[in-house]
Structure 1
Amino acid sequence: MRGSATRELAPETAELLLTYRAQDQVRNADRAREQQDRLLAVLNEYRIEPARLVVYNLMASGSGWSKTTNSTVYLTTQYKLTLDKPAIINELLPKLVQTGADEVVVSNLLSSRLAAFRLEVASLALADARTKAQHIVQQAGLKLAGIRTIAEVLPAGPAAPLIPERSRYRMLTFGSAASVGADAADVVNPVNPRAIRVQVAFDVEYEVQ
Protein backbone atom coordinates (compact mmCIF):
# COMPACT_ATOMS: atom_id res chain seq x y z
CA MET A 1 0.00 0.00 0.00
CA ARG A 2 1.40 3.39 -0.94
CA GLY A 3 1.07 6.28 1.44
CA SER A 4 2.14 9.83 0.68
CA ALA A 5 2.12 13.29 2.20
CA THR A 6 3.09 16.75 1.01
CA ARG A 7 3.60 19.82 3.16
CA GLU A 8 5.20 23.22 2.70
CA LEU A 9 7.84 24.73 4.96
CA ALA A 10 8.51 28.46 5.19
CA PRO A 11 12.17 29.09 4.25
CA GLU A 12 14.57 31.00 6.45
CA THR A 13 16.68 32.23 3.55
CA ALA A 14 16.33 32.44 -0.21
CA GLU A 15 18.92 32.62 -2.98
CA LEU A 16 18.24 34.59 -6.14
CA LEU A 17 20.27 34.60 -9.35
CA LEU A 18 20.34 37.88 -11.29
CA THR A 19 21.56 37.82 -14.89
CA TYR A 20 22.77 40.88 -16.79
CA ARG A 21 23.80 40.62 -20.44
CA ALA A 22 25.80 43.40 -22.11
CA GLN A 23 27.01 43.86 -25.68
CA ASP A 24 30.54 45.29 -25.80
CA GLN A 25 30.74 46.36 -22.15
CA VAL A 26 33.60 48.77 -22.94
CA ARG A 27 31.34 50.88 -25.15
CA ASN A 28 28.39 50.45 -22.78
CA ALA A 29 30.31 51.11 -19.56
CA ASP A 30 27.98 53.96 -18.58
CA ARG A 31 24.92 51.72 -18.95
CA ALA A 32 26.57 49.00 -16.85
CA ARG A 33 27.34 51.50 -14.09
CA GLU A 34 23.75 52.77 -14.16
CA GLN A 35 22.46 49.22 -13.77
CA GLN A 36 24.77 48.63 -10.84
CA ASP A 37 23.71 51.89 -9.19
CA ARG A 38 20.03 50.98 -9.61
CA LEU A 39 20.67 47.53 -8.16
CA LEU A 40 22.43 48.96 -5.10
CA ALA A 41 19.56 51.45 -4.67
CA VAL A 42 17.04 48.59 -4.58
CA LEU A 43 19.12 46.76 -1.99
CA ASN A 44 19.25 49.90 0.11
CA GLU A 45 15.48 50.40 -0.23
CA TYR A 46 14.84 46.93 1.21
CA ARG A 47 17.68 47.24 3.77
CA ILE A 48 19.64 44.39 2.23
CA GLU A 49 23.35 44.50 2.98
CA PRO A 50 25.47 44.87 -0.20
CA ALA A 51 27.66 42.02 1.09
CA ARG A 52 24.76 39.63 0.38
CA LEU A 53 25.22 40.31 -3.35
CA VAL A 54 28.18 38.46 -4.87
CA VAL A 55 29.34 37.77 -8.41
CA TYR A 56 28.32 34.17 -9.11
CA ASN A 57 29.43 33.70 -12.72
CA LEU A 58 31.03 35.61 -15.62
CA MET A 59 30.87 34.54 -19.26
CA ALA A 60 32.09 36.22 -22.44
CA SER A 61 31.29 35.23 -26.03
CA GLY A 62 32.00 36.70 -29.43
CA SER A 63 30.29 36.91 -32.80
CA GLY A 64 31.34 38.01 -36.27
CA TRP A 65 33.55 36.81 -39.08
CA SER A 66 36.65 37.06 -36.94
CA LYS A 67 37.14 36.59 -33.22
CA THR A 68 40.08 39.04 -33.28
CA THR A 69 38.84 41.88 -35.49
CA ASN A 70 35.40 43.36 -36.19
CA SER A 71 33.78 41.08 -33.64
CA THR A 72 31.13 41.87 -31.08
CA VAL A 73 31.78 40.75 -27.52
CA TYR A 74 28.89 39.76 -25.28
CA LEU A 75 29.45 39.67 -21.54
CA THR A 76 27.06 37.92 -19.18
CA THR A 77 27.33 38.67 -15.46
CA GLN A 78 25.40 36.63 -12.94
CA TYR A 79 24.98 37.69 -9.32
CA LYS A 80 23.76 35.64 -6.37
CA LEU A 81 21.64 37.51 -3.85
CA THR A 82 20.92 35.92 -0.46
CA LEU A 83 17.79 37.09 1.37
CA ASP A 84 17.04 36.53 5.04
CA LYS A 85 13.45 37.74 4.48
CA PRO A 86 12.01 35.46 1.76
CA ALA A 87 8.55 36.94 2.31
CA ILE A 88 9.55 40.00 0.27
CA ILE A 89 10.33 37.97 -2.86
CA ASN A 90 7.11 38.78 -4.73
CA GLU A 91 7.57 42.49 -4.11
CA LEU A 92 11.31 42.47 -4.76
CA LEU A 93 11.41 40.56 -8.07
CA PRO A 94 9.87 43.30 -10.27
CA LYS A 95 12.18 45.88 -8.66
CA LEU A 96 15.22 43.79 -9.56
CA VAL A 97 14.05 43.40 -13.16
CA GLN A 98 13.65 47.17 -13.39
CA THR A 99 17.35 47.61 -12.60
CA GLY A 100 18.04 46.19 -16.07
CA ALA A 101 18.37 42.51 -15.23
CA ASP A 102 17.60 40.16 -18.11
CA GLU A 103 16.48 37.41 -15.76
CA VAL A 104 15.86 36.97 -12.04
CA VAL A 105 15.48 33.41 -10.75
CA VAL A 106 14.61 32.16 -7.27
CA SER A 107 17.23 29.41 -7.36
CA ASN A 108 17.13 28.00 -3.84
CA LEU A 109 15.11 28.06 -0.62
CA LEU A 110 16.81 27.02 2.62
CA SER A 111 15.76 26.14 6.15
CA SER A 112 17.64 24.66 9.10
CA ARG A 113 14.42 22.77 9.97
CA LEU A 114 14.28 20.87 6.68
CA ALA A 115 15.58 17.51 7.94
CA ALA A 116 13.32 17.50 11.02
CA PHE A 117 10.35 18.72 8.99
CA ARG A 118 10.84 15.92 6.50
CA LEU A 119 10.60 13.38 9.32
CA GLU A 120 7.26 14.91 10.30
CA VAL A 121 6.01 14.57 6.72
CA ALA A 122 7.29 10.98 6.64
CA SER A 123 5.13 10.17 9.67
CA LEU A 124 2.11 11.56 7.84
CA ALA A 125 2.91 9.44 4.80
CA LEU A 126 3.10 6.26 6.91
CA ALA A 127 -0.18 7.16 8.60
CA ASP A 128 -1.75 7.64 5.17
CA ALA A 129 -0.63 4.18 4.07
CA ARG A 130 -2.04 2.57 7.21
CA THR A 131 -5.35 4.40 6.89
CA LYS A 132 -5.78 3.16 3.31
CA ALA A 133 -4.79 -0.38 4.20
CA GLN A 134 -7.07 -0.41 7.24
CA HIS A 135 -10.05 0.65 5.15
CA ILE A 136 -9.49 -2.01 2.49
CA VAL A 137 -8.91 -4.79 5.01
CA GLN A 138 -12.07 -3.89 6.95
CA GLN A 139 -14.09 -3.98 3.73
CA ALA A 140 -12.84 -7.53 3.22
CA GLY A 141 -13.80 -8.53 6.78
CA LEU A 142 -10.19 -9.04 7.87
CA LYS A 143 -7.84 -7.47 10.39
CA LEU A 144 -4.65 -5.55 9.78
CA ALA A 145 -1.60 -6.93 11.58
CA GLY A 146 2.02 -5.80 11.57
CA ILE A 147 4.20 -4.39 8.82
CA ARG A 148 6.10 -6.93 6.68
CA THR A 149 8.15 -4.57 4.52
CA ILE A 150 8.47 -0.85 4.05
CA ALA A 151 10.31 1.08 1.32
CA GLU A 152 10.55 4.76 0.61
CA VAL A 153 9.60 5.87 -2.88
CA LEU A 154 12.44 8.16 -3.94
CA PRO A 155 11.97 10.95 -6.49
CA ALA A 156 13.20 10.33 -10.02
CA GLY A 157 16.50 11.93 -11.00
CA PRO A 158 19.83 12.51 -9.27
CA ALA A 159 18.55 14.96 -6.64
CA ALA A 160 18.80 13.72 -3.06
CA PRO A 161 15.51 13.69 -1.08
CA LEU A 162 16.83 16.15 1.51
CA ILE A 163 17.74 18.78 -1.07
CA PRO A 164 14.97 21.39 -1.21
CA GLU A 165 13.17 21.59 -4.51
CA ARG A 166 14.56 24.35 -6.70
CA SER A 167 12.03 26.95 -7.66
CA ARG A 168 11.75 27.75 -11.35
CA TYR A 169 9.83 30.95 -10.83
CA ARG A 170 11.29 33.58 -13.13
CA MET A 171 10.77 37.26 -13.74
CA LEU A 172 11.75 38.21 -17.28
CA THR A 173 12.18 41.55 -19.02
CA PHE A 174 10.12 40.52 -22.02
CA GLY A 175 6.69 39.01 -22.65
CA SER A 176 4.49 38.47 -19.64
CA ALA A 177 5.55 39.72 -16.23
CA ALA A 178 6.06 36.26 -14.82
CA SER A 179 6.14 32.66 -15.93
CA VAL A 180 6.28 29.45 -13.91
CA GLY A 181 8.40 26.62 -15.20
CA ALA A 182 9.53 25.55 -18.60
CA ASP A 183 7.51 22.40 -19.17
CA ALA A 184 4.03 21.05 -18.75
CA ALA A 185 4.78 19.41 -15.40
CA ASP A 186 5.60 22.76 -13.85
CA VAL A 187 2.39 24.31 -15.16
CA VAL A 188 0.28 21.51 -13.67
CA ASN A 189 2.14 21.49 -10.38
CA PRO A 190 3.80 24.92 -10.00
CA VAL A 191 6.48 25.59 -7.42
CA ASN A 192 5.75 28.14 -4.72
CA PRO A 193 8.67 30.60 -4.82
CA ARG A 194 8.19 31.36 -1.12
CA ALA A 195 7.89 27.85 0.34
CA ILE A 196 9.89 24.61 0.38
CA ARG A 197 7.64 21.78 -0.74
CA VAL A 198 8.47 18.48 0.96
CA GLN A 199 6.91 15.31 -0.42
CA VAL A 200 7.41 11.82 1.03
CA ALA A 201 5.96 8.48 -0.10
CA PHE A 202 6.29 4.91 1.17
CA ASP A 203 5.26 1.52 -0.17
CA VAL A 204 4.19 -0.53 2.85
CA GLU A 205 3.33 -4.23 2.88
CA TYR A 206 1.16 -5.34 5.80
CA GLU A 207 0.29 -8.73 7.25
CA VAL A 208 -3.41 -9.52 7.35
CA GLN A 209 -5.28 -11.78 9.79
Structure 2
Amino acid sequence: MEPFDIYLASASPRRRELLGQIGVRYRLLDVAISETRLDNEAPEAYVRRVARDKARAGLMLFDEKPSQPVLGADTVIVIDDEVLGKPRDQADAIAMLQRLSGKTHQVLSSVTLIDHEEYEALNISQVTFRELNRTECERYWQTGESQGKAGAYAIQGYAAAFIRELQGSYSGVMGLPLYETAQLLQQTGVGLFPDQEWDQE
Protein backbone atom coordinates (compact mmCIF):
# COMPACT_ATOMS: atom_id res chain seq x y z
CA MET A 1 0.00 0.00 0.00
CA GLU A 2 1.35 3.40 -1.00
CA PRO A 3 2.22 5.73 1.90
CA PHE A 4 0.02 8.79 2.35
CA ASP A 5 -0.11 11.90 4.54
CA ILE A 6 -3.80 12.72 5.01
CA TYR A 7 -7.33 11.57 4.34
CA LEU A 8 -9.17 13.92 1.97
CA ALA A 9 -12.91 14.22 2.56
CA SER A 10 -13.68 15.79 -0.81
CA ALA A 11 -14.63 14.64 -4.29
CA SER A 12 -13.11 17.72 -5.94
CA PRO A 13 -10.44 16.93 -8.55
CA ARG A 14 -9.16 20.50 -8.12
CA ARG A 15 -8.33 19.88 -4.47
CA ARG A 16 -6.54 16.66 -5.35
CA GLU A 17 -4.51 18.52 -7.96
CA LEU A 18 -3.61 21.30 -5.52
CA LEU A 19 -2.51 18.90 -2.78
CA GLY A 20 -0.33 17.13 -5.30
CA GLN A 21 1.18 20.47 -6.26
CA ILE A 22 2.74 20.80 -2.79
CA GLY A 23 3.63 17.12 -2.48
CA VAL A 24 0.89 16.07 -0.04
CA ARG A 25 -0.14 12.46 -0.55
CA TYR A 26 -3.77 11.66 0.23
CA ARG A 27 -6.31 8.90 0.41
CA LEU A 28 -9.88 9.79 -0.59
CA LEU A 29 -12.88 9.46 1.69
CA ASP A 30 -16.39 9.31 0.24
CA VAL A 31 -18.54 11.61 2.38
CA ALA A 32 -22.03 12.96 1.85
CA ILE A 33 -23.31 15.94 3.83
CA SER A 34 -25.98 18.57 3.39
CA GLU A 35 -24.55 21.76 1.90
CA THR A 36 -27.79 23.69 2.29
CA ARG A 37 -27.25 27.15 3.75
CA LEU A 38 -29.17 27.78 6.97
CA ASP A 39 -31.63 30.66 7.26
CA ASN A 40 -29.80 33.93 8.00
CA GLU A 41 -26.44 32.11 8.07
CA ALA A 42 -23.60 34.51 7.21
CA PRO A 43 -21.46 33.45 4.21
CA GLU A 44 -18.32 33.09 6.36
CA ALA A 45 -20.13 30.96 8.94
CA TYR A 46 -21.66 28.87 6.16
CA VAL A 47 -18.41 28.03 4.37
CA ARG A 48 -16.66 27.27 7.66
CA ARG A 49 -19.47 24.97 8.74
CA VAL A 50 -19.55 22.98 5.51
CA ALA A 51 -15.77 22.46 5.54
CA ARG A 52 -15.98 21.36 9.18
CA ASP A 53 -18.91 19.03 8.46
CA LYS A 54 -17.00 17.37 5.62
CA ALA A 55 -13.96 16.71 7.83
CA ARG A 56 -16.14 15.41 10.69
CA ALA A 57 -18.09 13.17 8.32
CA GLY A 58 -14.78 11.73 7.14
CA LEU A 59 -13.72 11.11 10.73
CA MET A 60 -17.00 9.29 11.43
CA LEU A 61 -16.12 6.67 8.82
CA PHE A 62 -13.59 5.20 11.25
CA ASP A 63 -14.31 3.12 14.32
CA GLU A 64 -11.13 4.41 15.94
CA LYS A 65 -9.02 7.50 15.42
CA PRO A 66 -7.55 7.29 11.90
CA SER A 67 -3.83 6.99 11.40
CA GLN A 68 -3.63 10.30 9.52
CA PRO A 69 -5.43 13.67 9.76
CA VAL A 70 -8.70 14.23 7.90
CA LEU A 71 -9.07 17.32 5.70
CA GLY A 72 -12.33 18.92 4.59
CA ALA A 73 -12.73 22.10 2.54
CA ASP A 74 -15.40 24.25 0.96
CA THR A 75 -15.45 27.28 -1.33
CA VAL A 76 -18.24 29.75 -2.03
CA ILE A 77 -18.72 32.83 -4.18
CA VAL A 78 -20.25 35.90 -2.54
CA ILE A 79 -21.55 39.01 -4.29
CA ASP A 80 -23.63 41.70 -2.60
CA ASP A 81 -23.84 39.41 0.48
CA GLU A 82 -25.48 36.68 -1.62
CA VAL A 83 -23.89 33.24 -1.86
CA LEU A 84 -23.68 31.78 -5.37
CA GLY A 85 -23.53 28.01 -5.30
CA LYS A 86 -23.19 25.52 -8.13
CA PRO A 87 -25.49 26.21 -11.10
CA ARG A 88 -28.54 23.99 -11.53
CA ASP A 89 -28.59 24.27 -15.31
CA GLN A 90 -27.53 26.46 -18.25
CA ALA A 91 -29.94 29.28 -17.45
CA ASP A 92 -28.75 29.40 -13.84
CA ALA A 93 -25.08 29.43 -14.89
CA ILE A 94 -25.60 32.24 -17.40
CA ALA A 95 -27.50 34.26 -14.79
CA MET A 96 -24.59 33.83 -12.35
CA LEU A 97 -21.98 34.87 -14.90
CA GLN A 98 -24.00 37.94 -15.86
CA ARG A 99 -24.33 38.76 -12.18
CA LEU A 100 -20.52 38.67 -11.85
CA SER A 101 -19.93 40.60 -15.08
CA GLY A 102 -18.06 43.87 -14.58
CA LYS A 103 -18.09 43.53 -10.79
CA THR A 104 -15.88 42.46 -7.90
CA HIS A 105 -16.93 39.44 -5.86
CA GLN A 106 -15.48 37.56 -2.92
CA VAL A 107 -14.31 33.96 -2.88
CA LEU A 108 -14.37 32.39 0.56
CA SER A 109 -12.40 29.17 0.90
CA SER A 110 -12.37 27.35 4.24
CA VAL A 111 -10.23 24.41 5.37
CA THR A 112 -10.70 22.13 8.38
CA LEU A 113 -8.08 19.60 9.44
CA ILE A 114 -8.85 17.13 12.23
CA ASP A 115 -6.11 15.25 14.06
CA HIS A 116 -6.05 15.22 17.86
CA GLU A 117 -7.74 18.60 17.59
CA GLU A 118 -9.67 20.58 14.96
CA TYR A 119 -7.73 23.19 13.04
CA GLU A 120 -9.44 25.74 10.79
CA ALA A 121 -8.40 28.43 8.35
CA LEU A 122 -10.29 30.78 6.06
CA ASN A 123 -9.04 32.60 2.97
CA ILE A 124 -10.96 35.49 1.43
CA SER A 125 -10.01 36.69 -2.05
CA GLN A 126 -11.39 39.48 -4.24
CA VAL A 127 -11.98 38.72 -7.91
CA THR A 128 -12.96 41.33 -10.50
CA PHE A 129 -14.56 40.26 -13.79
CA ARG A 130 -14.51 42.32 -16.95
CA GLU A 131 -17.81 42.97 -18.69
CA LEU A 132 -19.24 39.81 -20.25
CA ASN A 133 -21.89 39.66 -22.96
CA ARG A 134 -24.52 36.94 -23.10
CA THR A 135 -22.91 35.19 -26.05
CA GLU A 136 -19.67 34.77 -24.11
CA CYS A 137 -21.59 33.36 -21.16
CA GLU A 138 -23.40 30.89 -23.41
CA ARG A 139 -20.19 29.79 -25.11
CA TYR A 140 -18.51 29.39 -21.73
CA TRP A 141 -21.33 27.12 -20.58
CA GLN A 142 -20.75 24.98 -23.65
CA THR A 143 -17.16 24.31 -22.54
CA GLY A 144 -18.55 22.33 -19.60
CA GLU A 145 -16.52 24.26 -17.06
CA SER A 146 -19.48 25.87 -15.31
CA GLN A 147 -20.93 22.58 -14.18
CA GLY A 148 -20.21 21.73 -10.55
CA LYS A 149 -18.39 25.03 -9.92
CA ALA A 150 -19.43 27.61 -7.35
CA GLY A 151 -20.30 30.81 -9.19
CA ALA A 152 -20.38 28.84 -12.46
CA TYR A 153 -16.71 29.41 -13.35
CA ALA A 154 -13.25 27.87 -12.96
CA ILE A 155 -10.32 30.25 -12.61
CA GLN A 156 -7.90 27.58 -13.88
CA GLY A 157 -9.79 27.20 -17.16
CA TYR A 158 -11.24 29.37 -19.89
CA ALA A 159 -12.65 31.78 -17.31
CA ALA A 160 -9.13 33.10 -16.67
CA ALA A 161 -9.85 35.35 -19.66
CA PHE A 162 -12.72 36.95 -17.72
CA ILE A 163 -10.68 37.97 -14.69
CA ARG A 164 -9.34 41.50 -14.77
CA GLU A 165 -7.93 41.50 -11.25
CA LEU A 166 -7.30 39.06 -8.39
CA GLN A 167 -6.44 40.12 -4.87
CA GLY A 168 -5.76 37.13 -2.68
CA SER A 169 -5.09 33.46 -3.32
CA TYR A 170 -5.28 31.87 -6.77
CA SER A 171 -5.39 28.41 -5.20
CA GLY A 172 -8.10 29.60 -2.80
CA VAL A 173 -10.27 30.66 -5.72
CA MET A 174 -9.53 27.31 -7.33
CA GLY A 175 -10.84 25.53 -4.22
CA LEU A 176 -8.06 25.01 -1.66
CA PRO A 177 -5.90 27.87 -0.32
CA LEU A 178 -2.48 26.28 -0.26
CA TYR A 179 -0.76 28.70 2.11
CA GLU A 180 -3.38 28.21 4.81
CA THR A 181 -3.59 24.47 4.14
CA ALA A 182 0.18 24.10 4.49
CA GLN A 183 0.10 25.97 7.80
CA LEU A 184 -2.54 23.59 9.17
CA LEU A 185 -0.70 20.53 7.91
CA GLN A 186 2.51 21.62 9.58
CA GLN A 187 0.65 22.05 12.87
CA THR A 188 -0.23 18.35 12.74
CA GLY A 189 3.29 17.31 11.79
CA VAL A 190 2.63 16.68 8.09
CA GLY A 191 5.66 17.80 6.12
CA LEU A 192 5.64 19.22 2.62
CA PHE A 193 7.66 18.13 -0.42
CA PRO A 194 8.19 14.48 0.64
CA ASP A 195 11.27 12.63 -0.58
CA GLN A 196 12.77 15.86 -1.85
CA GLU A 197 16.55 15.87 -1.78
CA TRP A 198 17.74 19.38 -1.05
CA ASP A 199 21.14 20.61 -2.19
CA GLN A 200 22.86 21.83 0.99
CA GLU A 201 25.79 23.44 -0.80
Q: Same fold (TM over 0.5)?
A: no
Greater relative contact order (CA < 8 Å, ≥ 6 in sequence): 1
Quick check: which has more Rg, 1 or 2?
1
Q: Larger % of strand: which?
A: 1
Q: Larger % of helix: which?
A: 2
User: Could you tell me the TM-score, scaled by structure 2's length?
Assistant: 0.28
User: Could you tell me the TM-score, scaled by structure 1's length?
Assistant: 0.28
